[in-house]
Amino acid sequence: MEKASTAFSASIFTAIFLLVSTLYIQGVEGSIIGVNYGTVANNLPPPEQVARFLSESTINSSVRLFDTNTDILRAFAHTGIAVTVTATNDQIPNLTRIEFAQEWLKFNVRPYIPATNIVRIFVGNEVISTANKLLIASLVPAMETLHTALVGASLDRRIKISTPHSLGILSSSSPPSTGKFRQGYDTHVLKPLLSFLRDTNSPFMINPYPFFGSSPETLDYALFRPSSAGVLDENTKLSYTNMLDAQLDSVFSAMKLLGFSDIEIVISETGWPSLGDSSQAGVDAESAAQYNRNLMQHVTSGAGTPLMPNRTFETYIFALFNEDLKPGPTCERNFGLFQPDMTPVYDIGILRSTVAAASKFHHAAYFSVLTIGLLIISNHGADVEALQKNIDYVLWPGNTAMEIASIDQYIGACSGLFAMKKMTGSEYHLLFVDLQIFFPLERDEEQELGGNA
């Protein structure tokens, strides 16, 4: 089957391929788009269905949970999906005691690993914003104690500890070069926190939401629209084309001021609602789609930000589902990429076509797919052999050098007309870009596929 190629098509695909791959290669390494799996709702599908949906559709290889829900952790077993769990804010004071931390691990993590790929523990969420003195004072000690418990269980290499922050930790953020942590918290909490992250090789997690920082006047800037005039930082003479970059750089400036510019920044939450109260500007499915689409493109592009050039950012979109029980204004319940029945709330381009392709593969082998362009593998060091095994059919044309020696080579390996029996997104991410044409197979091809799918 692999050999049934034609020189004609091979050259076309090679040509298109070069084009696409130069656009994407730079951002491939180390960039991951994940999703926040919030569950403040009474109508969500069972966790097994969600885990299957995510792993089969290759939407995401990483999820972040807001607790340590047993059913969800079980459901993600054997999916390979990287899971971040959260020790809730109320547990933080207790986690400063080693016995409690050990018990916490014993009940909330150890039963699920290694079947479930737990890679991170968040100690609380936006703790500094709670203004609760006990929680804030306990935060870093709790992280340190939990880390000690991880070391005791020989899990510290597998599982990293961090904690997400809102941008409320900044007292100054505009222009970005003046970014500063709030006084008091800077030396008493953030400095020891950043030291801990440095010592344990764990990233600093932030939840930037251009949505909440935007007004009708700055909507284009917040949505990464080219029509935005941009903003000049007079101090650095650097010009900002989008609000997310400005937010990231203000955090970076604040870290730098404390001497921690070397710590990696991860975006643990960001998103845009698809529905809001009528008074809100730019709250609709179109804007949400545009934000998330542009966001994914931007953070994986390798462009970085003006103060952090040539970087990618691991980014977790908020959120997987619309959550109907969330309090507050309408928009709070409408950040989801998917409705509870798992239909997309809106079209976010590459995400949707990935889903479309995956579900076609899943449901039947009656179609094959012409995919031009294609593919990002965002997990450096992915298991190429396993990846190759997942590609079951290469019907046509050439350029199907399925002997894959390296990730880079693989980028050229898979254009053309092909069908996959199964695409699992566990250790690697396939991303189909551009044109996909579905059409029925010839009878004999159909049988052949049907027999193997």
Ligand X SMILES: *[C@@H]1O[C@H](CO)[C@@H](O)[C@H](O)[C@H]1NC(C)=O
Binding residues for ligand X (CB under 6 A)? 32-34, 58-61, 90-91, 94, 309-310, 350-351, 354, 376, 378, 425, 429, 431
Four-point Cα dihedral 233, 238, 240, 244, nearest 10: -90
Name which of 316 and 396 has its Cβ closer to ligand X: 316
Selected catalytic residue, list 29, 56, 99, 126: 126
Place of tokens 């693989």: 410
**In this complex, which beta carbon is closest to ligand X, that of residue 360 or of residue 449?**
360
**Rounded distance between C-alpha atoms, residue 141 and residue 124, angstroms:** 12
Active-site annotation holds for 126: yes
User: Minimum distance from CB of 10 to ligand X (Å)?
Assistant: 27
Catalytic-labelled residue, pool 56, 144, 269, 427:
269
- Spell out the residues 6+ positions from residue 307 whose beta carbon is closer than 8 angstroms to its own: 176, 177, 236, 238, 249, 252, 253
Rounded distance, CA 109 to CA 106, Å?
A: 6
User: Taking the CB of residue 66, how many other CB atoms lie within 10 A of it?
Assistant: 17
Distance CA(48)–CA(75), nearest Å, equals 5
To the nearest whole angstrom, how small is the minimum distance from the Cβ of residue 157 to ligand X?
Answer: 23
CB of 422 to ligand X, least distance (A): 15
Q: Which is nearer to ligand X, 134 or 402 (CB)?
A: 134
H-run or E-run covering 267:
strand 265-270
Contact yes or no for 73/112 (Cβ under 8 A) = yes
Minimum Å gap between C-beta 38 and ligand X is 16
Give me the least distance between CB of 258 and ligand X, in Å please: 22
For the CB of residue 366, give the shortest distance to ligand X in the complex, in Å. 24
**Does residue 144 have an active-site annotation?**
no
Please report how close the Cβ of residue 60 comes to ligand X at its closest, in angstroms: 4
- Identify which of residues 309 and 450 has a Cβ nearer to ligand X in the complex: 309
268 vs 364: CA distance, rounded Å: 36
Place of tokens 């700055």: 218
Distances (CA, A) of 56 to 53, 105, 348, 376, 427: 5, 29, 18, 16, 13
Are 141 and 193 a contacting pair, CB within 8 Å? no
Element (H, E) at 428: none
202 contacts 161 by C-beta, under 8 angstroms: yes
Give me the residue label for tokens 């049907």.
450
CA atoms within a 13 Å half-sphere pointing along the CA-CB vector of 262: 7
- By beta-carbon proximity to ligand X, the closer residue of 5 and 60 is 60
User: Which structure tokens are listed for 15?
Assistant: 């040509």
- Residues 120/161, Cβ–Cβ less than 8 Å: yes
The least distance separating ligand X from the CB of residue 24, rounded to whole angstroms, comes to: 10
Neighbours of 386 (CB within 10 A): 13
Nearest to ligand X of 314, 445 (CB atom): 314
Instruction: Return the structure tokens found at 255.
Output: 């870290």
Q: Of 31 and 247, which has the nearer Cβ to ligand X? A: 31
For residues 82 and 63, give the distance between their C-alpha atoms in angstroms, rounded to a whole number.
6
Contact 214, 224 (CB under 8 A): no
Minimum CB separation from ligand X for residue 227, in Å? 25
Which CB atom, from 32 or from 331, has the smaller least distance to ligand X? Answer: 32
- What is the distance of C-alpha 340 from the center of its chain? 20
- Nearest residue to 222 via CA among 206, 236, 205, 241: 241
Nearer to ligand X, 80 or 168 (CB): 80
Q: With contact defined as beta carbons under 8 Å apart, do 323 and 41 qualify?
A: yes
Q: State the catalytic residues.
A: 126, 269
